[in-house]
């Protein structure tokens, strides 16, 4: 069993979804000795001994919920969010998110680098289109100081 599924369970939303979960768990080191086939509403996990098991009304101690990679909730981006964008995921650039155009080859539209002030003040600004986009997680100064264990001086 690998770390991806260690101490995790996945809730099946249908019989077919349950079958995909079992396949995913097998691919990640689980043994389907009991020939689980997938059922709606059941939560599947790999036991400490490596077997795929399931439950419906209880949760094994220390386990947390996860999703199949293709079911992972999509992060909702809003106009004005700080994001990182890339053409090929090798180099990421900071930008401001404007929109996502579904099914486009380059679906993520952001503010042209250097036009942030124009965007913020409502003036006309240039745009870029990107293939990949991820939200930049920001924390407050107080949170950063707490994590670092010391005061941040300007």
Contact status, residue 44 vs residue 21, Cβ threshold 8 Å:
yes
pLDDT digits (tens, 9 = 90+) for 26-66: 999 999 987 878 888 889 999 989 999 888 877 778 888 88
Residues sharing a CB contact under 8 Å with residue 20, sequence separation 6 or more, in sequence order: 38, 68
Shared domain check, 78 and 22: no
pLDDT digits (tens, 9 = 90+) for 98-152: 999 988 899 999 999 889 999 999 999 999 999 999 888 777 788 878 878 888 8
Please report the pLDDT score of residue 97 as a whole number: 92
Nearest CA to 52 among 4, 3, 8? 8
Shared domain check, 97 and 55: no
Shared domain check, 97 and 24: no
Shared domain check, 110 and 89: yes
2: in domain: no
Average pLDDT over residues 20-29: 93
Q: Quick one: 98 exposed, middle or buried, by C-beta within 10 A (0-12, 13-18, 19+)?
A: buried
20: in domain: yes
How many structural domains comprise the chain? 2
Q: Which ranges of the chain would DSSP assign to H, the alpha helix?
A: 15-27, 116-121, 141-148
Q: How confident is the model at residue 74 (pLDDT cuts 50, 70, 90)?
A: low
């Amino acid at each position: 069993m690998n770390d991806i599924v260690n101490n995790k369970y996945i809730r099946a939303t249908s019989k077919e979804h349950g079958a995909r979960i079992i396949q995913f768990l097998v691919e990640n080191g689980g043994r389907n000795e009991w020939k689980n086939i997938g059922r709606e509403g059941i939560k599947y996990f790999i036991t400490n001994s490596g077997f795929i098991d399931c439950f419906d009304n209880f949760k094994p101690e220390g386990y947390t919920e996860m999703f199949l990679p293709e079911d992972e909730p999509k992060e909702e981006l809003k106009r004005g969010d700080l994001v990182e964008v890339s053409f090929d995921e090798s180099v990421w650039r900071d930008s401001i998110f404007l929109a996502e155009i579904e099914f486009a080859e380059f679906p993520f539209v952001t503010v042209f680098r250097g036009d942030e002030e124009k965007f913020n003040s409502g003036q006309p600004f240039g745009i870029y289109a990107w293939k990949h986009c991820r939200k930049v997680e920001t924390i407050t100064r107080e949170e950063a100081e707490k994590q670092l264990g010391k005061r941040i001086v300007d």
